[in-house]
Structure 1
Amino acid sequence: MPFPLSLCQRHPRYAVLLAVLLLATFFLLSPDDPLFVTTHRPRPAPLADRTLPARVAHAEAAYQRTIARRQDMIKKFGPSPNQVVMFPPDREPWPAYTVWDFFPAVFNCPHEVERIGSLGDGGQWVCGIERITDKPDCVIYSFGLDWDSSFEAELLSRTGHCEVWGYDYVAPGFGRAVTRGLRPRTHFARLGLGASDSHGPADEPKMWTLRSLMKANGHDHIDLLHIDIEGWEFEVLRSMVRDFRAAEGALPFGQLLIEMHIWHQRFGEFLAFWEMLEAVGLRPFRSEVNLVYANYNRQSGVELATYSFLNLRGSNVFVTDGAAAEDALPEAEGAREAGEPDVRMIRHATVAVEP
């Protein structure tokens, strides 16, 4: 008689052990575990619909889970938003977080994401530059020009029709990276982006709202909006949301690339600002803290970070196939307020021509 059977006959407890081992092997090798059918979590099915709207919807579902996790994190370290410290001190009890950990840029861009411009301070993350490469009515606004303008220069060199409107009330114009060959598709004016209009003859510096500038330029849509205005972005964005949400229902740009300066901000205030951006359809897909600033201001914390947002509302080329075909239609010449300059004609007024 075979050895295992005779052993089990002499020692019944070995028979029980052998039966347990065989049963465990069966369950481990079985693709569906019958004992845990009620608690088993199926793996998420792969996205069957690969169209652009389906990919955006899939990314939005994942982002909503991040919002829920943020609330859990606030309860853990607050428990209310006003009790959360932006940059907690290094002492017991030691919570391992900074303010930026509550707002990760985790929205999954449905296109390729690429960093445009120089490395370090000045470059920007863009979602789907291929969507505007040959777009005939591509419009880009840039507020707060960098000293070399490498971001704007690369956008111009890699697209066939994009025009860049640059504004700064300190810089004299685009930086050296925007060479003479690229300048025909640029427009510059010395003015600032403000929460309200104050650009009369006696106003200095002259401040324009985005709504007023777009009206003066004859634009109803912007593909990429870049903002770096040294802390004024909070009141400007609040005003922008009020201006456009009431009239158009959606912000008039496809992407927002913005550096946030959280000097003197409290967590509850910043949370309300961030949730306002989310409420109007902005979703962060990439972020980058400004380590140059942190290196020179080591006692103050990492207070500057650049975020790139995709706008899910309205009709723009990054979230809708075939969108924005009628964008940037010029308004009538008489649409500008009486006495205001035509900003479209202010081109490199103070920029020296390269030799």
Structure 2
Amino acid sequence: MAVRMGQVIGIWFWVAFTFFIFVVLNQTRGFLPLGISTNTSTTTSPKQLGLSTRQRMARSESSWRSSVSLRHDMATAHPAHPQVPFFPAQTLDQFGQYPYTLWDFFPATYTCPHDIQRVGRLGDGGKWVCGMSLYEAKPAPAISRSSSQQASTETIIYSFGVNDESTFEAEMLARIPSAHIYAYDYSVTSFGPQLSPSYSARAHFKQLGLGAKDELYRTPQFFSLASLMAQNKHSYIDILKIDIEGSEYTALDAFMDECDKTGIFPIGQVMIELHLVDDQHVNFETFGKWWERLEAFGMRPTWLEVNLLSVTLGQGKTDPRCVEYVWVNAKDEKSVLLME
């Protein structure tokens, strides 16, 4: 009898204990701080809200336009305008205001309408790609198609500045079956060792330089971007990567001169490292005009990453003069980013 009584008491003990735990857990929800929910399904993305790609891009466009207005307000209010210094001392100026660096005037205020991923090695050499998943989902061209049909389904990538480091190019070829990369660098003779020979059919390298005009007398020779596209029979570039140590300004200016004829900038997105190494030729006013000329063609800054390598190494360079930017073409009707 004593044993049976013990069993009954034990059963009721566990029933009461279970009920106690249930009550405590339910009461705990009432003590959670405001704004914290135990229901994780309440977090919604733009896609879950039912926004299309164009609607998301329209919202980003509004944010970008606001930043342009703020940029002009900041510039005109600066006591040194229009000769605003790139990197003033980080102390209060004579007007009691904190001065800005150049990069404060040109933030990445246009949100990528899809995922954005970093491709390539960490540190110098890796790049951010807007809509990487969409490029990966694009199938490789069918071999049976005609050459013109096959070319139209390829993902065309131009890469200027290899410098014996090809982790970006190698990963893009590995992840995007439709990718063909056209790489140019006057300082090296081939891709870096990171690129596997198995991608040779889709990896095209020439020891040439990118410039504002064709300079056939030089060794190696230099060509404009428009000339290289004509040589390759390309009318459109999906992704353009540029890292040419300060020559990017004149090279893209010359390309925009060609684009002025049609009003179309035939590039889906640009990954570029901007260098502020020559204050005499690239000052605040000239940089702003060059930047806004790109914006007029529809290019929008969607990501930035400061390259602090020179700052870390010192060597007399204490300012962050190199910044990686990603621009997407908001006016591009051929863009992969328009896929849902």
* Contact 2:75–2:82 (8 Å) recurs in 1: yes
Task: Tell me which residue corresponds to 2:306.
Answer: 289
Instruction: Give CA deviations for 1:303-353 in whole Å, capped at 9, x if unaligned.
Output: 11110100112322244349xxxxxxxxxxxxxxxxxxxxxxxxxxxxxxx
* Contact 2:191–2:205 (8 Å) recurs in 1: yes
* Contact 1:56–1:319 (8 Å) recurs in 2: no
Q: What displacement does 1:188 show? A: 0.6
* Contact 2:239–2:270 (8 Å) recurs in 1: yes
* Contact 1:131–1:318 (8 Å) recurs in 2: yes
In the alignment, residue 99 of structure 1 is paired with which amino acid?
Answer: L
Task: Tell me which residue corresponds to 1:217.
Answer: 232
Structure 2: which 5+ runs fail to align?
A: 1-45, 140-152
Closer, same or farther in 2 for the Cα pair 1:90/1:249, shift >3 Å?
closer
Quick one: which of 295, 305, 325 aligns to 1:307?
A: 325
In structure 1, C-alpha distance between the alignment counterparts of 2:331 and 2:98, rounded to whole Å? 36
Q: What displacement does 1:58 show? A: 1.4
1:240-255 aligned within 5 A: 240-246=255-261, 248-255=262-269
Instruction: Give CA deviations for 1:195-235 in whole Å, capped at 9, x if unaligned.
Output: 11122xx4323111111111111111111100111111111
In the alignment, residue 311 of structure 1 is paired with which amino acid?
Answer: N
Instruction: Indicate the percent of aligned positions where both proteins have the same amino acid.
Output: 36
In the alignment, residue 252 of structure 1 is paired with which amino acid?
Answer: P
1:46-195 aligned within 5 A: 50-78=51-79, 80-82=81-83, 84-93=84-93, 95-133=98-136, 134-135=138-139, 136-195=153-212
* Contact 1:231–1:261 (8 Å) recurs in 2: yes
In the alignment, residue 269 of structure 2 is paired with which amino acid?
Answer: Q
Task: Tell me which residue corresponds to 1:335.
Answer: none
In structure 2, C-alpha distance between the alignment counterparts of 1:284 and 1:175, rounded to whole Å? 29
User: What's the secondary structure of 1:237's corresponding residue?
Assistant: helix
In structure 2, C-alpha distance between the alignment counterparts of 1:297 and 1:241, rounded to whole Å? 35
User: What's the secondary structure of 2:198's corresponding residue?
Assistant: coil
Closer, same or farther in 2 for the Cα pair 1:268/1:145, shift >3 Å?
same
Q: What displacement does 1:51 show? A: 1.4
Quick one: which of 230, 254, 258 aligns to 1:239?
A: 254
In the alignment, residue 218 of structure 1 is paired with which amino acid?
Answer: K
In structure 2, C-alpha distance between the alignment counterparts of 1:305 and 1:77, rounded to whole Å? 23
In structure 2, C-alpha distance between the alignment counterparts of 1:312 and 1:318, rounded to whole Å? 12
In the alignment, residue 54 of structure 1 is paired with which amino acid?
Answer: Q
1:305-344 aligned within 5 A: 305-321=323-339
Task: Tell me which residue corresponds to 1:333.
Answer: none
Quick one: which of 254, 259, 262 aligns to 2:273?
A: 259
Q: What displacement does 1:92 show? A: 4.5
Instruction: Give CA deviations for 1:3-60 in whole Å, capped at 9, x if unaligned.
Output: xxxxxxxxxxxxxxxxxxxxxxxxxxxxxxxxxxxxxxxxxxx896611111111110
* Contact 1:259–1:307 (8 Å) recurs in 2: yes
In structure 1, C-alpha distance between the alignment counterparts of 2:65 and 2:251, rounded to whole Å? 26
In structure 1, C-alpha distance between the alignment counterparts of 2:79 and 2:283, rounded to whole Å? 13
Q: What displacement does 1:146 show? A: 3.8
Aligned residues: 273
In structure 1, C-alpha distance between the alignment counterparts of 2:75 and 2:325, rounded to whole Å? 21
Instruction: Give CA deviations for 1:173-203 in whole Å, capped at 9, x if unaligned.
Output: 111110122222100101011111122xx43
In structure 2, C-alpha distance between the alignment counterparts of 1:249 and 1:49, rounded to whole Å? 33
Structure 1: which 5+ runs fail to align?
A: 1-45, 323-355
Q: TM-score, normalised by structure 2?
A: 0.76
User: What's the secondary structure of 2:197's corresponding residue?
Assistant: coil
Q: TM-score, normalised by structure 1?
A: 0.73
Q: What displacement does 1:145 show? A: 0.5
* Contact 1:281–1:313 (8 Å) recurs in 2: yes
Closer, same or farther in 2 for the Cα pair 1:153/1:108, shift >3 Å?
same
* Contact 1:86–1:266 (8 Å) recurs in 2: yes
Q: What displacement does 1:96 show? A: 4.4
In structure 1, C-alpha distance between the alignment counterparts of 2:254 and 2:173, rounded to whole Å? 29
Q: What displacement does 1:130 show? A: 1.9
Q: What displacement does 1:299 show? A: 3.6
In structure 1, C-alpha distance between the alignment counterparts of 2:182 and 2:329, rounded to whole Å? 20
